[in-house]
Amino acid sequence: MLKSSCLGAWSLIVLNLVLLWLVGCAIPGPGPELCPATPLVVRAGPDGSVEQGYDTTGDGKADCSERMNAAGIVDAIRFDDNQDGCLDDRDVWIVLADVPEQDRRHLVLILDSIPFAMVESLWIEGRFRLFHQPSRVISPFPVMTDLCLSDFFGISPCPGVESEYFDGERLRNGYVAYANKDNVPWMDLVDCHLEPATHASVYVRAKKWYRHELRRVQEHFRRSTGPRMIAYVVGTSALGARIGRDGHQAGLIQLDRFCRQLTFESRGRARISLLSDHGHSFMATRRIPLARLLAEFGYRPGRTLERPGDVVVPEFGMVSCAVIHTREAAEVARDVLGIEGVELTAYRDASDAVVVLSRTGRARIRHSRGAFTYQPDFGDPLELLPIYASLRTAGKLDAEGFASDAVLKDATAFHPYPDVVHRLWRSFHGLVQHTPDVLVSTQDGYHCGSAFMSTLVNMTAAHGSLRQASSTGFSMSMCGRLPEMVRMEDLRGELVRACVPLEKLESHH
């Protein structure tokens, strides 16, 4: 095992350069087989349904078709089984709802960094009509893949916020931890995924690797014989981070064609459910040199906490959040807030309240018996005073000003910081094994993390912050409609209620 203590700073830089050069030279395999992007034939039925016929063989004739009911959902498919060159009443419809459960094969496809708003827009425009309308999925904060998917699989807490984390004694080397999968316990529950050591290559050649990943999922699904397969695709994150909105747009259209291809080739037996771990904020970003600025303030960034003034600042990825370990949380949270690009900071005080700071306000979140108060000392850092006032008017606060978790969830579902009270509280209470002392959420247009990576990669989208674009992923299923808004920690249960077989999960490690 390569120990980080054996590597000086220059050795790590050389190692990282070599690794990036090697993965950048890696050549991914072929892309997936996809259904045509547009139908060859469109026919309206007298009952409000619409049939769309596709030419999947390239001979200029429609050989299979799907029927959208009056609600716009595909409910049946048929094929030119008699090979008479046309789709007509002699070709029998396969009604998807009538396929026996024992004949169905479920694919749960987890897509990294797909924002809800883009999927909703494409669904409204007529794409993804194999699925019921997409639902908003609110990710935990910090908005990081490992935290999100540990929540989805019900195995939180995660050791750290990301692969480079402080374990209570020292800062773990992020590259070694990433390669060893030390912070990805959820990956053992996934049937098909790229190994973490490959991920850097995906970000270098995003389009080719994304198509390669879809091909791997397609081939794995074709080979598998069980009733359920779970797959994870990291290439969608690379498409957004490197190309931005256009990268996601092209990737989602390919995904729609991919899902239609699986449905046709399985003759309606495939049941697909899609979800993303979190969203993406589409804006070029620049790095906040957090550790360097803390040093200029008089703190001592390092790998351990030994004396007053010591701080440990993991700087591994390129994300719109950061964590700090310190014995002076209140002072560090206050001082970091003045850094350009920092929007909010938070820490836990001696009374176990979560203190949230902005440049114009400070407030405390307290929890009792499944309910929360939000009490500003001054200002309104989370912009929640109008919501609490309306809840008081509606009689939904108790005498001490507590609102139930369920009430707050509904009241803040579309807030600029969605479901923010619950998410901030969990950040310090059970989400992470080695809980940070200070949490940082940046403004759009800024990121924290690796100086090395920031010189190599131009980011056109980021995630991590409390803001809605970063925090809101999506889910939708062929099996049924999910709630309009669902927390990531509750999503698996909602999919089970929609008859997606995710009750029993086994490690593949």
- Asked if 81 and 143 sit in the same domain, the reply is no
- Asked if 84 and 150 sit in the same domain, the reply is no
Residue 314 included in any domain: yes
Residue where a domain stops, chosen among 51, 70, 98: 98
Residue 10 included in any domain: no
Q: Pairing relation of β-strands 41-44 and 50-54?
A: antiparallel
The answer, as to whether pTM is greater than 0.85, is: yes
- Asked if 392 and 431 sit in the same domain, the reply is yes
Q: Which domain holds residue 140?
A: 99-281+472-497
Residue 413 included in any domain: yes
Backbone angles phi, psi at 359, to 5 degrees: -70, -15
Let me know: does 174 contact 314? Beta carbons within 8 Å.
yes
pLDDT at res. 7: 34
Take residue 447 and report the two structure tokens written for it.
Answer: 């990121």
Read off the amino acid at residue 387: I
Residue where a domain stops, chosen among 64, 79, 98: 98
User: Residue 240 is part of a domain; what is its CATH number?
Assistant: 3.40.720.10
Residue 238 included in any domain: yes
Give me the tens of pLDDT residue by residue for the chain, a chain 509 residues long. 333 333 333 334 344 444 554 445 566 888 999 999 999 999 999 999 999 999 999 999 999 999 999 999 999 999 999 888 788 888 899 999 999 999 999 999 999 999 999 999 999 999 999 999 999 999 999 999 999 999 999 999 999 999 999 999 999 998 888 878 889 999 999 999 999 888 888 988 999 999 999 999 999 999 998 999 999 999 999 999 999 999 999 999 999 999 999 999 999 999 999 999 999 999 999 999 999 999 999 999 999 999 999 999 999 989 999 999 999 999 999 999 999 999 999 999 999 999 999 999 999 999 999 999 999 999 999 999 999 999 999 999 999 999 999 999 999 999 999 999 999 999 999 999 999 999 999 999 999 999 988 887 788 899 999 999 999 999 999 999 999 999 999 999 999 999 999 998 877 65
Query: In Å, how far from its chain's centre is CA 441?
Result: 17
Q: Report the C-alpha gap between 253 and 309 in whole angstroms.
A: 51
Q: Report the C-alpha gap between 471 and 126 in whole angstroms.
A: 25
Residue 180 included in any domain: yes
Residue where a domain stops, chosen among 81, 98, 115: 98
Residue 9 included in any domain: no
- Asked if 200 and 174 sit in the same domain, the reply is yes
pLDDT at res. 26: 60
Tell me which residue has tokens 């750290």: 160
- Asked if 83 and 151 sit in the same domain, the reply is no
pLDDT at res. 456: 77
Residue 445 included in any domain: yes
- Asked if 260 and 142 sit in the same domain, the reply is yes
Instruction: Count how many domains the chain has.
Output: 3
Q: Report the C-alpha gap between 301 and 288 in whole angstroms.
A: 15
- Asked if 201 and 104 sit in the same domain, the reply is yes
- Asked if 272 and 295 sit in the same domain, the reply is no
SS3 255: helix
Read off the amino acid at residue 476: M
Sheet arrangement for strand 446-449:
286-287, 446-449, 318-319
Q: Nearest 5 degrees, angle CA 173-CA 176-CA 180? A: 135
How many residues in the chain? 509
Residue 503 included in any domain: no
- Asked if 158 and 237 sit in the same domain, the reply is yes
- Asked if 431 and 308 sit in the same domain, the reply is yes
pLDDT at res. 472: 98
Closest CA to 429 of 377, 496, 353: 353
- Asked if 315 and 444 sit in the same domain, the reply is yes
- Asked if 206 and 87 sit in the same domain, the reply is no
